[in-house]
């Protein structure tokens, strides 16, 4: 079962599941998006009202929960509550349904975020790192992972996939990075030295299926082994597009004025490695930014 199957990561996981012959039941808040086929079946749910079609659990052995409101929207106090509630409520609805429904679920794999780690330009964080940032997003991740850990009380294996910046062609961060550079208005953000711990869309979907197949438990960093700075990725994108970066760097104070607290997404970053995932034998297809962008921008 996949919650969030129509999102950026969910769509790629579904594609790879279909290629591998893995049957998927997916949850959707839109009844118009419900499809039925031999290997891909949709079911209605609404975490905000605690509704779920319990037929969705039929023959399901594992749940991948990617559900959560986008963080790429201005963080008003009301929307910050939406970001948090959307993640906690989705887990609670699934947890409560499992308690009251006969099922065969033995794995729960939850999305999470590397924003739990403190902002740093020099310290490399792995899954063994215990430091927790004091930011809003770190608070969200802590609550998110606590909600996931509750499933272990049902005798279910729990894994938490701490996601970095996902690079994809059709959506997400890369699309937004490309827009100004394509029209000759690209520039480095702030001092450009903030780290971007990224991962190719194909690799993160493969990682979820690797965790599923290997029955892995605990925390895993979903990032490529070679993070880059904002300056590095901006210059690499410009070079691939054949564009020059003639504008000065966008001042940090201007970005903060425009975006408020949300500016941390652009001006701060975590230097993160996938030590634990690699130790389990996961092989990345895209280990450096040049090969990842070359594939996505071809």
CATH number at residue 232: 3.40.50.720
- Give me 242's structure tokens: 């054949």
Q: Which domain holds residue 246?
A: 2-296
How far is Cα of residue 170 from the mean position of the Cα atoms in its chain? Answer: 15
Question: What is the rounded average pLDDT for all residues in the chain?
Answer: 95
By three-state DSSP, how is residue 261 classified? helix
Q: How many structural domains are present in the chain? A: 1
249-265 burial: b if 16+ Cβ within 10 Å, else e: ebebeebbeeeeebbbb
pLDDT for res 200: 98
**Per DSSP, what are the bridge partners of residue 228?**
196
Burial class (CB in 10 A: 0-12, 13-18, 19+), 219: buried
pTM comes to 0.95
* Residues 221/274, Cβ–Cβ less than 8 Å: yes
pLDDT for res 8: 95
23: confidence class by pLDDT, cuts 50, 70, 90:
very high
170: confidence class by pLDDT, cuts 50, 70, 90:
confident
- Give me 92's structure tokens: 């609670």
pLDDT for res 172: 87
Q: Is the pLDDT of residue 205 over 90?
A: yes
pLDDT digits (tens, 9 = 90+) for 31-73: 999 999 989 999 999 999 999 999 999 999 999 999 999 999 9
Which residue's entry shows tokens 């925390």? 219
User: Around Cβ 212, how many Cβ atoms within 10 Å?
Assistant: 19
Separation CA 290–CA 180 (nearest Å): 19
Q: Is the pLDDT of residue 210 over 90?
A: yes
Backbone angles phi, psi at 62, to 5 degrees: -145, 150
The DSSP code for 65 is: E
Separation CA 223–CA 197 (nearest Å): 6
């Amino acid at each position: 079962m996949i919650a969030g199957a129509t999102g950026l990561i969910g769509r790629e996981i579904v594609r790879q599941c279909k290629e591998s012959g893995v049957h998927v039941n997916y949850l959707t808040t839109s009844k118009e998006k419900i499809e039925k086929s031999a290997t891909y079946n949709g079911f209605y749910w609404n975490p905000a009202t605690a509704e779920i079609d319990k037929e969705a659990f039929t023959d399901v052995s594992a749940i991948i929960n990617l559900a959560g409101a986008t963080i790429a929207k201005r963080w008003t106090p009301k929307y910050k509550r939406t970001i948090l509630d959307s993640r906690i409520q989705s887990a609670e609805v699934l947890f409560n349904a499992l308690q009251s429904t006969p099922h065969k679920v033995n794995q729960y794999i939850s999305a999470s975020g590397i924003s739990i780690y403190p902002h740093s330009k020099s310290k490399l964080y792995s899954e063994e790192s215990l430091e927790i940032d004091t930011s809003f997003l770190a608070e969200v991740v802590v609550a998110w992972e606590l909600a996931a850990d509750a499933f272990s009380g049902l005798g279910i294996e729990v894994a938490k996939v701490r996601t970095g910046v996902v690079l994809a062609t059709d959506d997400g961060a890369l699309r937004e990075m490309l827009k100004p550079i394509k029209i000759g208005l690209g520039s480095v953000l702030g001092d450009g030295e903030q780290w971007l711990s990224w991962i190719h869309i194909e690799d993160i979907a493969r990682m979820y299926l690797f965790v599923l197949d290997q029955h892995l438990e605990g925390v895993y960093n979903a990032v490529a082994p070679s993070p880059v700075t904002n300056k590095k990725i901006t210059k690499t994108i410009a070079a691939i597009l054949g564009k020059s970066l003639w504008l000065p760097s966008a001042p940090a104070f201007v970005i903060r004025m425009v975006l408020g607290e949300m500016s941390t997404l652009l001006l701060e970053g975590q230097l993160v490695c996938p030590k634990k995932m690699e130790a389990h034998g996961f092989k990345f297809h895209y280990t450096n930014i040049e090969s990842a962008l070359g594939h996505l921008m071809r």
